[in-house]
Amino acid sequence: MVSLNLETWSALAPGLDTKASWQAWFDSSSDDGPAETSPALKQIPALLRRRFTTLGKYAAASTLNVLAENQSMPGIFASRHGDTGLTLSLLEEIARDQPISPTGFSLAVHNAVAGIISIARKDKSPITAISAMNGLLLQTLFEAAAQLERHERVFCVVYDIPLPALYQPYELSVPFPLALAFVVSRSDDAKANLTLQPTTQACSELSTYQEIFQFIKVLMDEKGSLMMNVNQANWHLAVDARQ
């Protein structure tokens, strides 16, 4: 069994930045998000803020929501696809036999968002960028548990944006920009406990974004559980609030 202590969390999507707005969206049973908006990120200097694409803006905003201004700790940035739209634009430039943008190339690598956020926060703590075709949330929790063997606290950001239209017939993606950030620790003073353990109980395999939405629901209630099936292995994730 893997046990993590949850200190705080924040979920962001266009028009969804409070518990009430998320609850209203869940109650609507819709996969459609509100009109596209972007976080302001006024805490980040304009020179760095301009380097963020939509993907980076949501990851940065959710990170800033769970970390104090001068709080320093290792971070895990988990995105299944990364900035696929930016990568596609670079491939299209190559196909047209045009030189690719050095800035675009540097921002398309999978750890670019994490790097810009760490520079903006002046945080020299270790950062890890991961990707997983299946079980992105589960792999993030495993990585966090491993890092807590060495560190007192770790913050995690799970984030993605819709795939470009070219790829959507072949792969599911989030219906709108989405970022979920949370801090886990070894402290017994945390607000809730997360437990993760294998189970023989049968469950259906959920898409990555369905798992994230279900996890947000559980976090909102501060009590509950969800089942995850990854590579034919079933896992039970439970959240229990501390009194």
How confident is the model at residue 205, as a pLDDT?
Answer: 65
The reply to whether 135 falls in a domain is yes
How confident is the model at residue 229, as a pLDDT?
Answer: 78
Give 126's Cβ-side CA count (13 Å radius): 9
H/E element, 235? strand 233-241
The reply to whether 213 falls in a domain is no
How confident is the model at residue 36, as a pLDDT?
Answer: 62
In the predicted model, residues of the chain with pLDDT beneath 50 are none
The reply to whether 55 falls in a domain is yes
How confident is the model at residue 35, as a pLDDT?
Answer: 59
The reply to whether 190 falls in a domain is no
The reply to whether 204 falls in a domain is no
The reply to whether 210 falls in a domain is no
pTM more than 0.85: yes
- Given strand 233-241, what is the order of strands in its sheet? 127-130, 75-78, 153-160, 178-185, 2-12, 192-199, 233-241, 223-230
Cα separation, 157 vs 167, in Å, equals 24
CATH of the domain at 91: 3.40.47.10
H/E element, 37? none
The reply to whether 142 falls in a domain is yes
H/E element, 7? strand 2-12
How confident is the model at residue 230, as a pLDDT?
Answer: 76
Q: How far is CA 25 from CA 28, 120, 139, in A?
A: 5, 32, 27
The reply to whether 243 falls in a domain is no
Give me the number of domains the chain comprises. 1
What range defines the domain where residue 164 resides? 10-183
